[in-house]
Structure 1
Amino acid sequence: MLWAMELRSLEYFVAVADERSFTRAAQLCHVTQSTISAQISGLEKQLGEPLFDRSGREVGLTEGGQVLLPYARRCLAAAADARAEFSARAGLERGELRIGTGGGVEHTAIPELLGRLHRERPGIDIHLVEATSGPLLDLLLQGRLHAAVIARPVEALPPTVTAAPLFTGRLVAAFDPAVYRLDEPVSLAELAGHPVISYPTTSALRTRLDAAARDQGVTLAVNYVANDVRLQTAFAREGVGVAVSLGADPALGDLRGLAVRSISPAVPIEKILVWRTDIVACAPLRAFLALWNEWSTDDERRSA
């Protein structure tokens, strides 16, 4: 029966699903493989169908396993948050903060705030995930992250998600001036005539760029895809294309022979901190948001 399901069984199920191996899952959970296998077999018996396809070299999820996986993740995340909440009520401040971020935030307050949280709340474990904006927002909505730093997407955020501004910037073009003759500013129509180096389609920065190009009636040929601006500029130095990158990214501080031009029309970018408001914020997230609010107030005072 579903209500008799144990969290430990779900923990082992998620580990096998992520590792695609009973052996690696057992190592991850610090138990024997036979223990993992017995728990999974018991779970399959409870649910009345197999959860894994064991016929290949790697273990794969069956249709039933794919259905269970998001529920299992949410159950485990909720249990962890509940433990953290009751630790906070007892004055112990334990638990974990699961936060995601993309690249280009090295110069922002995020590293400083996570460092403060680590020093001032040593009982809170910080788990940082790096990805592009689209996957990070999905992880937040699935309950696998408490908060994330993303580029604001073209479409509106879901109503269950709130956002706070981190910084704004614009996309710029970086290129080898010996290979490409581009005036200031570079039009999107002109960029459409050259190979482009830019972000993957899962990045909100790329979504903004593509939307701006469509508005101008052009299509950009993004031949080289990299989320790391250091790699984008490395390709640009080889003369293989024009890098279109976030101008505020620290990697553009090291140009070494590259020219940088603004883009016309401008493609504005806003980096934001997002978290869900349809559920009660767990104690570790509240601790982080308290530091965030303190920083935001100080930043506003400095800017006044």
Structure 2
Amino acid sequence: MELQQLRYVVAVAETRNFTRAAERCRVVQSALSHQVAALERELGARLFERTSRRVRLTPAGEAFLGAARECLEAADRARAEVAASAGEIRGRLAVGAIPTVTAVNLPVALRDYRRRYPGVHITLTAAGSDELIERVRQGGVDVAFLGLPARAEPKGVQSRRLGGGELVAVVAPDYHRTETEVDLRGLADEPFIDFRVGAAGRAQSDEAFAAAGVRREVPFEVSSADLMVDLVRQGLGVGMLPAAYAPRFADLRVIRLRDAPTRVEHLIWDNRRSPAAAAFLELIHADHADPPTIT
């Protein structure tokens, strides 16, 4: 069994197509198919069901895929560790971030990192805080930037608080009220546009309204800040965004809240951090602050 065979299996599993897998691996299809078939003979089991229309994993293939990925990741990590011992940072860096991160200028940080470590392959995933925590736990993401309610802490990962801030209400330019500052009770009768129940972005607002003894209606639940803003522009309701993020949408009106919801941004990583991840943490000065929180 060779690492290249494992790469071929992963590529076929992810593309569900031998031709696209061969293109990804930069080999001719016949060579890739031959190696996958040789691996199946060695294992004594078929990894893929092949028809004229589709390719899909067999139960044996499903069982093999996870182990294959782990082997490839271990091999990549070993190469990166050897390179780091010689002063060279290589490998991969998988970064995750909520779309509304403001504590760090992430595009600039990624630019500076790539200039300093051109041998590292960088990827970026945008997702919600809960999903990013799970991805870091599972090793699919190396470091991630989160936004959580003020009293919440990410569990099962190493973390450091980067900063906090208040949320503001954002409304359409022709919104019927003229105040520039209100309390939450003053917005109780308005329809709201917010994230799904249970999401960290929603919990910030829900906790603040509950503390104020105010019930509100959220007829529009969204999965992204961009969609929230699009709905707000159409006058469908009131949105809630971090005060440092809201100015990006100059066409929206901002209403300050005297009893505003608050959130804290966190940087998280797994304790098995790679040389590439350690270099990224150092670049953004996370390692020069107080000791991390481990929960």
Question: Aligned-pair distance for 1:257?
Answer: 4.8
**Partner SS state of residue 240, structure 2:** strand
Q: Which amino acid is the alignment partner of residue 264 of structure 2?
A: E
The corresponding residue for 2:169 is: 173
* Equivalent residue number for residue 115 of structure 2: 119
Displacement of 1:84 in angstroms is 0.9
Provide the secondary structure at the position in 2 that maps to 1:252.
helix
Is 1:12 paired with 2:5? no
Return the letter of the residue paired with 1:89: S
Partner of 1:89: 85
> Considering only aligned residues, what root-mean-square deviation do their CA atoms show, in Å?
3.3
Change (3 A) 1:92 1:178: closer
C-alpha separation between the residues in 1 aligned to 2:82 and 2:90?
Answer: 9
Deviates further, 144-153 or 81-90: 144-153
- SS of the residue corresponding to residue 103 of structure 1 reads coil
Could you tell me how far 1:169 is from its partner in structure 2? 1.9
Residue 256 (structure 2) pairs with residue 256 (structure 1): no
Contact residue 17 and residue 61 of structure 1 kept, 8 A: yes
Q: Who is 1:28 aligned against?
A: 24
Q: 1:253 to 1:114 in 2, by over 3 A?
A: closer
Structure 2 counterpart of 1:204: 200
Checking the alignment, whether the CA contact within 8 Å between 1:135 and 1:202 is kept in structure 2 is no
Residues 72-97 of structure 1 show CA distances to partners (whole Å, capped at 9, x for unaligned) of 33322221111111011123332222
**TM-score w.r.t. structure 1 length?**
0.78
Q: Which residue of 1 aligns with 2:268?
A: 274
CA separation of 1:179 and 1:19: change in aligned 2, threshold 3 A: same
Residue of structure 1 equivalent to 2:67: 71
Give the secondary-structure state (helix, strand or coil) at the position aligned to 1:206.
helix
1:164-243 to structure 2, matched below 5 A, reads 164-176=160-172, 178-181=174-177, 184-187=181-184, 190-191=187-188, 193-199=189-195, 203-210=199-206, 218=215, 220-229=217-226, 231-243=227-239
Change (3 A) 1:114 1:176: closer
Query: Matches of 2:267 and 2:37 in 1, distance apart?
Result: 41
- Once residues 219 and 68 of structure 1 are traced to their aligned partners in structure 2, the CA distance between those partners, rounded to angstroms, is 49
The one-letter code sitting in structure 2 at the alignment partner of 1:227 is S
Alpha-carbon distance change, 262 to 240 in structure 1, aligned in 2, over 3 angstroms: same
Q: Which whole-Å CA distance do the structure 1 matches of 2:186 and 2:99 have between them?
A: 27
- Change in 2 beyond 3 A, CA 1:112/1:227: same
**1:38-95 deviation per Cα after TM superposition (whole angstroms, max 9, x unaligned):** 3333444444444334458443334443443333333222211111110111233322
Contact 2:160/2:286, CA 8 A, preserved across alignment: no
- Structure 2 residue identity aligned to 1:252: P
What does residue 302 of structure 1 align with?
Answer: none
In structure 2, the gaps of 5 or more residues are 290-295
Q: How many residues align?
A: 286
**TM-score, reference length from structure 2:** 0.80
Percent identity over the alignment?
34
- Residue 263 of structure 1 and its aligned partner are, at CA, apart by 7.2
Q: Contact conserved, 1:172 with 1:263, CA < 8 A, in 2?
A: no
Structure 1 Cα separation of the partners of residues 47 and 214 of structure 2? 48
Per-residue Cα deviation, 1:21-50 (whole angstroms, up to 9, x for no partner): 222221111112233333333444444444
Cα distance between partner residues in 1 of 2:217 and 2:57: 38
Q: Counterparts of 1:6 and 1:28 in 2: how far apart (Å)?
A: 18
| Aligned CA distance change for structure 1 residues 214 and 286 (closer, same or farther; 3 Å) | same
Give the CA deviation at 1:189.
Answer: 9.3
Tell me which residue corresponds to 1:149. 145
Structure 1: gaps of 5 or more residues = 298-304
Q: Report the secondary structure of 1:165's partner residue.
A: strand
